[in-house]
Amino acid sequence: MLLQTAVSAASQVHPLSGTIAEWVWLLPILPLAGFVINGLLSLAGARFGPTDPTAAGDHHSGAAADAPASAHLEHGAEGEDQHAVKRHRWSGVVSVVGPGVLILSFLLALGIWQAMASAQPAAAFIQSYFSWMPVGDLRIDAAFQLDQLSMVMILVITGVGALIHVFSVGYMRDDPSYPRYFSYLNLFVFFMLVLVLGANYPVLFVGWEGVGLCSYLLIGFWFNEKANADAGKKAFIVNRIGDFGLLVAMFMLFANIGVLDFAGVSAKAVDLGAGSALVTTICLFMFLGCTGKSAQIPLYIWLPDAMAGPTPVSALIHAATMVTAGVYLIARSSFLFSLSPVASLTVAVVGAVTAIFAATIGLKQWDIKKVLGYSTISQLWYMFVGVGVGAYVSGMFHLVTHAFFKALLFLGSGSVIHAMHTAYHQTHSAEDAQDMRNMGGLKRYLPVTCVLMWIATLAISGIPPFSGFFSKDEILGSVFARAQGSTLASATWLGIPGSTLLYIIYAIGLAAAFLTAVYMTRMMLYTFHGPTRTGTEEEKALHEAPWIMTGPLVVLGILAVFGGWLNLPEVVTDIIPLGPRELLAHWLDPVVGEATTRITAGAAQAPAVTEQMLIGAAVVIAVAGIVLAMARLKPDRLPRKRDAVPEHGFEGVVAHKYYVDEGIERTIVEPTYAVSRSFLWRVIDNGLIDGFFVNGSAALARGFGWVGSRLQTGNVGVYAWFLVVGVLVMLGAFTLR
């Protein structure tokens, strides 16, 4: 790979060639090396390690039945606990290698970013390493593409990823399978970087599948409990449905324009015909892939269950990076989506429906991680609406800020769960360490986590000047602006004029923002405020996490506050000169500028007054949500989990997630099982394959054998007859021919 000559696509001399950007291949190779080292240590530990992970898991599984995600956290109990398991013998090495490779990768990414910022390349920097699939006219290289869009993703992945890796050291150090955990996590980062660096759809697809695999491995990390293993399987199977869509989109692209690399597709996309049924179909299939990976309706069902994995995994994979791959794919394919207003509107509509759906479910969840899981689904909609209405910059902007504050929220919840688990472990209690009804008043014991999570809550609710405010507001503003004069507004979607639809989406967006503020405040109130419901004995054991966990939280907190500075809107900088405006928009302009212009063609810039009113409305709604939640919710009167009564009526329906899982169980899973059992198993497998083909061929051979054995009479006379008759037949055949 090293010896291959770099081929620059746009011109022979690309501004980035000869700079540190040549080392882009090292970005994914570093985590891959970490994967290999940690994986080998894990294997070595499994053979020679001091502890038997299975035995340790079984020992505690009874006590932790209600808290699958942190079933093994109790090994984190320090001090005099007699059940404390010895750390993995290689845990010291793993603690250095695992986060180390990520930090190195991040530093390299910073260097490349520096080079790119000074070179300001107009075209993508493409490095081709070897020819991967030369088939007929199709030539697919194992090639990496470095442009402003992938740069943003790389910085988020390696930066937030490194912080989460460091957090993981504190969170997972006492797990018997510590090296295995880090090998999976490193492998995930490797595939995620391949996904964002790939210069064509097949390479992207390799990363796409790879992150799915790592997601599966990490959700089912504590596979000793069936629920966790099932959650992993669910995520994997649901994602396969989406991947099918992405594959079909790739096949259609190849069948119609014959190329699959981004530069080629981008150049030939117009040949497909703007607004044609073909390009719409391709985009919709591609979007099916995105709904799977990014947990949108109809394929969102795996994400809440994915919270069964360790909490840092939820932060990294199921909040900050992997689930945003769909947004990245649409932004990357902006040259396709901008050609199809119908597909773009579909993206926005599906996102909006998902948002309101997930946000209402989030209102009634008690598991702290489930709240955050539904919140992620609901937040992804902003990104999808952003890229759906052609505001690719805003979508990516929200992706970045969301990575900051949602990673902070998840890691904060990890800190809470860590404390809760340690406390319950000390008293050998079987209570649920993730249920908010067992928390309350934690701000006294976890002051740092509490403050940081409040910052993240304000950011996600869209309170200025936190990062979420800018990104969220920009998306809502784009939706509003696109409703007049853009290609989307003049298109119709299922008979509804695009303009009307965009106003509806805008209204849904405000509603979702309101709900977000409510459920996030609810989570914070029940977790950190009011009386402590943990239990008198356990209260003594509650304590703040070690610095290796709070450190990354603080960094993320700073980012969550100041992330908005990446792309300050003009309307804000005009009033308050906070800093340079629209940095990200300028940065991404070479990649998505053309597609954005194609959609906004003719759309008049909304007057500043309108924009200010829109911002005002958004802020008022967010504040209203927080105030309402504070006024209505009474953490003082909340019963503990074991005293709780089930909700009734509509609340019950929401608490049961609209019975979607049950519905899918009835309509898809059970019929599938029934058909499999009664038809596929008994008829096809037992009847046709076993009965006809396997046993049938055996019977056929036996039958021929029986006939042959009848011929062997042992009587020479009979053989002589055969001989003579045979000779006569041969002679006759030759004579009469």
Looking at residues 283 to 302 of the shown chain, list those that interact with other proteins (rule: CB under 8 A). none
**Could you tell me where the DSSP H helices lie in 427-497?**
447-461, 467-482, 487-490
Q: Give the burial string for 552-581 (b: 16+ CB within 10 Å, else e).
A: bbebbbebbbebbbbbbbebbeeeeeeeeb
Q: 604 or 724, CB closer to other proteins?
A: 724
Q: Indicate the Cα dihedral angle 600, 606, 610, 615, nearest 10°.
A: 50
Q: 276 or 713, CB closer to other proteins?
A: 713
| Shortest reach from residue 697's CB to other proteins, in Å | 22
Q: Give the burial string for 654-674 (b: 16+ CB within 10 Å, else e).
A: bbebeebeeeeeeeeeeeeee
| Shortest reach from residue 706's CB to other proteins, in Å | 9
| Shortest reach from residue 699's CB to other proteins, in Å | 19
| Shortest reach from residue 696's CB to other proteins, in Å | 24
| Shortest reach from residue 724's CB to other proteins, in Å | 6
Q: How far apart are CA 688 and CA 459, in angstroms?
A: 60
Q: 684 or 730, CB closer to other proteins?
A: 730
Q: Name the β-bridge partners of 128.
A: 143
| Shortest reach from residue 223's CB to other proteins, in Å | 57
Q: 637 or 710, CB closer to other proteins?
A: 710
Q: 648 or 710, CB closer to other proteins?
A: 710
Q: Name the β-bridge partners of 492.
A: 497
Number of residues that bind other proteins (CB under 8 A): 13
Q: 679 or 722, CB closer to other proteins?
A: 722
Q: 96 or 720, CB closer to other proteins?
A: 720
DSSP state of 145: E
| Shortest reach from residue 708's CB to other proteins, in Å | 7
Q: How far apart are CA 396 and CA 388, in angstroms?
A: 12
What is the pattern of x (binds other proteins, CB under 8 A) and - over residues 379-398?
--------------------
| Shortest reach from residue 703's CB to other proteins, in Å | 14
| Shortest reach from residue 725's CB to other proteins, in Å | 10
Looking at residues 677 to 736 of the shown chain, list those that interact with other proteins (rule: CB under 8 A). 708-717, 720-721, 724
Q: Name the β-bridge partners of 435.
A: 367
| Shortest reach from residue 234's CB to other proteins, in Å | 59
Q: 79 or 717, CB closer to other proteins?
A: 717
Through-space distance between the first and last CA atoms of the chain, rounded to whole angstroms: 66
What is the pattern of x (binds other proteins, CB under 8 A) and - over residues 48-67?
--------------------
CA proximity to 263, closest of 123, 130, 117 = 123
Residue 341 φ/ψ, nearest 5 degrees = -60, -35
- Alpha carbon 622 to chain centroid, angstroms: 26
Angle of helix 547-562 relative to helix 447-461, nearest 10 degrees, comes to 30
- Alpha carbon 733 to chain centroid, angstroms: 74
| Residue-level length of the chain | 737
The two structure tokens encoding residue 676? 């499999």
Q: If DSSP states are collapsed to H, E and C, what string results for 284-351?
A: HHHHHHHHHHCCCCCCCCHHHHHHHCCHHHHHHHHHHCHHHHHHHHHHHCHHHHCCCHHHHHHHHHHH
DSSP state of 15: T
The single residue listed with the structure tokens 């059992």 is 677
The two structure tokens encoding residue 420? 């809760």
Is residue 195 within 8 Å of residue 208, measured between CB atoms? yes
Is residue 85 within 8 Å of residue 75, measured between CB atoms? yes
The single residue listed with the structure tokens 């990076």 is 321
Question: From the CB of residue 633, how many other CB atoms can be counted at a distance below 10 Å?
Answer: 17
Q: 536 or 709, CB closer to other proteins?
A: 709
The two structure tokens encoding residue 135? 């088939």
Q: How far apart are CA 716 and CA 723, in angstroms?
A: 10
| Shortest reach from residue 710's CB to other proteins, in Å | 7
The two structure tokens encoding residue 130? 């070897």
Q: 107 or 718, CB closer to other proteins?
A: 718
Is 625 strand, coil or helix?
Answer: helix
Q: 620 or 701, CB closer to other proteins?
A: 701
| Strand-strand pairing, 492-493 and 138-146 | unpaired
What is the pattern of x (binds other proteins, CB under 8 A) and - over residues 87-116?
------------------------------
| Shortest reach from residue 714's CB to other proteins, in Å | 3
Question: From the CB of residue 500, how many other CB atoms can be counted at a distance below 10 Å?
Answer: 13
Residue 472's contacts (CB-CB under 8 Å, 6 or more residues apart) are 382, 398, 462, 513, 618
CA proximity to 317, closest of 247, 384, 406, 242 = 406
Q: 270 or 725, CB closer to other proteins?
A: 725
| Shortest reach from residue 700's CB to other proteins, in Å | 18
Q: 5 or 712, CB closer to other proteins?
A: 712
Measure the CA angle with vertex 558, ends 556 and 560; round to 5°: 65
Q: 644 or 730, CB closer to other proteins?
A: 730
Q: 694 or 724, CB closer to other proteins?
A: 724
Q: 40 or 729, CB closer to other proteins?
A: 729
| Shortest reach from residue 701's CB to other proteins, in Å | 15
Exposed / middle / buried, residue 5 (Cβ in 10 Å: 0-12, 13-18, 19+): exposed
E strands along 119-261, which residues?
125-135, 138-146
Q: How far apart are CA 349 and CA 344, in angstroms?
A: 9
| Shortest reach from residue 717's CB to other proteins, in Å | 6
What is the pattern of x (binds other proteins, CB under 8 A) and - over residues 182-221?
----------------------------------------
| Shortest reach from residue 720's CB to other proteins, in Å | 5
Q: Give the burial string for 591-611 (b: 16+ CB within 10 Å, else e).
A: bbeebbebbbeebeebeeeeb
| Shortest reach from residue 732's CB to other proteins, in Å | 15
| Shortest reach from residue 718's CB to other proteins, in Å | 9
Q: 40 or 720, CB closer to other proteins?
A: 720
Q: 273 or 705, CB closer to other proteins?
A: 705
Q: Applying CB under 8 A, which residues contact other proteins?
A: 708-717, 720-721, 724
